[in-house]
C-alpha cells in the first residue's frame, strides 16, 4: 500500500497554540492528531472560565480563517483602558488618565481588541479544527484533525516521533509539536536536552488571582454597575499599586466582569485548573473601594504565580522532528495582552510554511525556519510584557512618582496616558505597527520565497502531491 502523502503531525495540548496549529496544518493539507490531558476543552467545569484579551494581530488571523462572526458574537470590543491608583484616595478612586486605541492603527492592523472568555475562544478554535468541508453526501476524504481528551502524554521518543499516554496507548507520526504550555511535558524534555532542570524558572514574587463577577450580580451593585456605563463599558479598568495591581473588564457574550488582581502574596504555586487557597479579599492590601467590592462579590478564583522562565536555547529537538510552540516555547508573564495572539500566530506560521511540503525529510529544516523567524518577535514582545508588569507594579518611590506625573501630564494635555512624548512618538508608533500590524502569513511567505523554495530538495519535487 502506498504511503498517505500527507504528513502526520501529533500535537500535544489542545489550547490556543495547539488548536490554532491544528487548523493551520489541516488547511495546509496534513493530518493532525491532538492529544489533550484534560478530560474536556479548556479545563474542568468546576474551575472558573476566565477572561482573555485578544489584540488585533491575533484576531486578524482568526478573521482570515472565517471566524469573525463567531468571535464577535462572543466578545466585547475593547476601546482602550482607564488608569487608576490601586490604593485610591480618601474620596474613593484616584483616576490618572485614559488610553484609547487609535482607530487608524486598528484599521491598518485589520483587527480589534476582543475581550472574551477562555473557553469560548477555545471552543471556536476546536470547532473550526474539526469542521469538515461539505462533501456532497460522500465521506470527506481531505486532511483530518482528530482531538483526544483525557490523553496525557507521559513519554516520548524524539527520534521515532512517538508518544505514550498515561493509559499506555502509543502513537507515532512524522512530526511532533509540543503545545503543552509552560509546564508541559515536551517543554520539560527540551529543557532536559539542554541540560537544564525541567522546573527552571524564578518566581517573580507576584501572583495573579483571576475571578469572574456575573453580570446579574455586577449590575445590582452601585459601584460595580458603573463598569457598564459607556465609555467605561468598553475600557479595561487598570489599577497600579506598589508591587500590586488589578484589572477589571467586561468579556464574552454575557458581559460578565473579568477581575484580575496582582499580589505579592504568592505563596501558592497554583495552576489554571485548581482553585486558589485564599480568597481574593485576603490578599488585596490597601486598595480602592471598587477593588474591595469586586473581591467581595467575585466567584471562586484561581491563583497563578508570575515566573521568569528559562529561555529555551532551541525550540527544536536534537532529532529535528519535535518543536515547541506557544507557551511551551516562550512562556509569557500570565494574563499578558499577547499570550493568546502569539500562540495563534505560531500556529498560523507553522501551517503556512508546511503548505509547501509533504516531504518528511524537510521537517527539521521547516521547524528550524519556524524558530528562526518567530523567535525574535516572541522574545521582543515577551520583554515588553515583562516591562509592563514591572511598570504597573513599581514600588512607592521616585520612579513611581515620575511614572504617575508623566501619565497625569498626558491626561491634562488631552493625550493618551501611555504617550511617550514628542521625541519618542515615532518609535512608539513604529513599535505598535510592528506588534499589532504583523501578519504571520506574510512572514511565512517571505521565508518561503527567500529561502524555503530555493532549498527545495530534488527528491521533494518527485513526491506525488
Ligand X SMILES: Cc1cc2nc3c(=O)[nH]c(=O)nc-3n(C[C@H](O)[C@H](O)[C@H](O)COP(=O)(O)OP(=O)(O)OC[C@H]3O[C@@H](n4cnc5c(N)ncnc54)[C@H](O)[C@@H]3O)c2cc1C
Query: How many of the other CB atoms lie within 10 Å of CB of 32?
Result: 29
Q: Do 20 and 347 touch, CB atoms closer than 8 A? A: yes
Binding part of the chain for ligand X, among 16-24, 84-92, 284-292, 315-323 by CB under 6 A, reads 16-24
- Helical H segments across 29-142, by residue range: 56-64, 68-73, 103-109, 118-130
Cβ atoms < 10 Å from Cβ of 113: 24
CB of 443 to ligand X, least distance (A): 19
Near ligand X by CB under 6 A: residue from 37, 85, 244, 293:
37
Is 272 one of the binding residues for ligand X (CB under 6 A)?
A: yes
Give whichever of 113 and 185 is closer to ligand X, judged by the CB atom. 185
Only segment of 48-56, 104-112, 169-177, 384-392 that touches ligand X (CB under 6 A): 48-56
Cα 440 to Cα 373: distance, rounded to the nearest angstrom = 10
Q: What is the DSSP letter of 335?
A: T
Contact between 118 and ligand X by CB under 6 A: the answer reads: yes
DSSP classification of residue 223: T
* 114 lies in the site for ligand X, by CB under 6 A: no
Contacts of 273 (CB under 8 A, 6+ apart): 38, 43, 44, 47, 302
- Cα separation, 455 vs 457, in Å, equals 6
The least distance separating ligand X from the CB of residue 386, rounded to whole angstroms, comes to 14
Q: In what order do the strands lie in the sheet with 113-117?
A: 51-54, 113-117, 76-78
Which of 8, 18, 120, 363 lies at the binding interface for ligand X (CB under 6 A)? Answer: 18
Binding segment (CB under 6 A) for ligand X, from list 44-52, 71-79, 370-378, 380-388: 44-52
Q: Cβ-closest residue to ligand X?
A: 50
> Binding to ligand X by residue 179, rule CB under 6 A?
yes
How many residues of this chain bind ligand X (CB under 6 A)? 34
Half-sphere CA count of 344, side-chain side, radius 13 A:
26
- Check if the beta carbon of residue 285 is closer than 8 Å to that of residue 241: yes
Among the listed ranges 10-18, 57-65, 214-222, 223-231, the one in contact with ligand X (CB under 6 A) is 10-18
Closest separation between CB of residue 12 and ligand X, Å?
A: 5
Among 78, 80, 97, 184, binds ligand X (CB under 6 A): 184
Residue from 12, 176, 250, 393 touching ligand X (CB under 6 A): that is 12
> What is the rounded CA–CA span in Å between residue 392 and residue 78?
20
How near is the Cβ of 295 to ligand X at its closest, in Å? 17
Does the footprint of ligand X cover residue 362 (CB under 6 A)? no
Interaction residues for ligand X, span 222-261 (CB under 6 A): none
35 binds ligand X (CB under 6 A): yes
- Per CB under 6 A, 147 contacts ligand X: no
Quickly list DSSP for 349-412: HHHHHGGG---GGGHHHHHHHHHHHHHHHHHHHHHHHHHHHHHHTPPTTHHHHHHHHHHHHHHH
Binding site for ligand X (CB under 6 A): 12-18, 35-38, 42-43, 50-52, 118, 152-153, 179-181, 184-185, 210, 272-273, 326-328, 335, 339-340, 343
Amino acid at each position: 500500500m502506498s504511503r498517505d502523502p500527507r504528513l502526520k503531525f501529533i500535537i500535544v495540548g489542545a489550547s490556543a497554540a495547539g488548536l490554532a496549529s491544528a487548523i493551520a496544518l489541516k488547511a495546509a493539507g496534513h493530518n493532525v492528531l491532538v492529544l489533550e490531558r484534560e478530560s474536556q476543552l479548556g479545563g474542568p467545569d468546576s474551575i472558573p472560565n476566565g477572561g482573555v484579551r485578544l489584540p488585533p494581530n491575533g484576531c486578524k488571523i482568526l478573521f482570515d480563517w472565517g471566524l469573525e462572526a463567531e468571535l464577535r458574537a462572543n466578545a466585547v470590543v475593547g476601546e482602550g483602558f482607564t488608569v487608576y491608583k490601586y490604593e485610591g484616595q480618601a474620596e474613593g478612586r484616584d483616576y490618572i488618565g485614559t488610553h484609547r486605541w487609535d482607530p487608524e492603527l486598528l484599521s491598518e492592523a485589520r483587527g480589534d481588541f476582543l475581550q472574551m472568555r477562555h473557553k469560548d475562544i477555545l471552543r471556536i478554535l476546536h470547532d473550526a479544527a474539526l469542521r469538515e468541508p461539505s462533501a456532497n453526501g460522500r465521506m470527506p476524504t481531505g486532511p483530518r484533525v482528530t482531538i483526544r481528551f483525557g490523553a496525557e502524554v507521559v513519554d516520548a521518543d524524539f527520534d521515532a516521533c512517538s508518544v505514550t499516554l498515561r493509559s499506555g496507548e502509543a502513537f507515532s507520526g512524522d512530526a511532533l509539536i509540543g503545545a503543552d504550555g509552560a509546564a508541559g511535558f515536551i517543554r520539560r524534555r527540551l529543557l532536559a536536552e539542554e541540560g537544564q532542570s525541567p522546573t527552571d524558572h524564578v518566581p517573580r514574587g507576584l501572583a495573579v488571582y483571576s475571578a469572574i463577577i456575573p453580570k446579574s450580580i455586577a449590575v445590582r451593585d452601585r459601584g460595580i454597575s458603573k463598569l457598564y456605563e459607556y465609555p467605561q463599558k468598553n475600557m479595561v479598568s487598570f489599577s497600579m499599586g506598589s508591587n500590586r495591581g488589578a484589572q477589571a473588564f467586561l468579556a464574552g457574550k454575557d458581559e460578565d466582569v473579568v477581575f484580575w488582581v496582582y499580589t505579592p502574596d504568592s505563596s501558592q504555586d497554583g495552576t489554571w485548573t485548581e482553585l486558589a487557597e485564599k480568597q481574593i479579599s485576603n490578599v488585596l492590601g490597601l486598595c480602592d473601594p471598587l477593588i474591595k467590592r469586586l473581591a467581595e462579590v467575585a466567584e471562586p478564583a484561581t491563583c497563578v504565580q508570575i515566573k521568569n522562565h528559562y529561555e529555551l536555547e532551541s525550540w527544536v529537538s536534537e532529532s529535528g522532528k519535535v518543536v515547541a510552540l506557544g507557551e511551551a516555547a516562550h512562556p509569557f508573564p500570565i494574563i499578558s495582552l499577547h499570550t493568546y495572539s502569539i500562540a495563534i500566530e505560531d500556529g498560523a506560521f507553522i501551517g503556512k510554511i508546511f503548505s509547501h511540503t509533504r516531504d518528511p525529510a524537510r521537517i527539521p529544516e521547516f521547524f528550524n525556519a519556524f524558530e528562526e523567524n518567530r523567535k525574535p518577535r516572541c522574545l521582543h514582545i515577551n520583554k515588553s510584557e515583562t516591562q509592563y508588569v514591572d511598570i504597573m507594579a513599581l514600588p512607592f518611590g521616585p520612579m513611581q512618582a515620575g511614572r504617575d506625573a508623566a501619565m497625569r501630564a498626558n491626561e491634562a494635555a488631552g493625550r493618551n496616558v501611555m504617550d511617550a512624548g514628542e521625541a519618542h512618538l515615532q518609535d512608539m508608533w513604529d513599535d505598535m505597527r510592528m506588534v499589532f500590524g504583523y501578519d504571520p502569513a506574510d512572514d511565512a511567505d517571505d521565508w518561503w520565497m527567500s529561502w524555503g523554495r530555493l532549498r527545495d530538495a530534488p527528491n521533494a519535487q518527485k513526491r506525488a502531491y
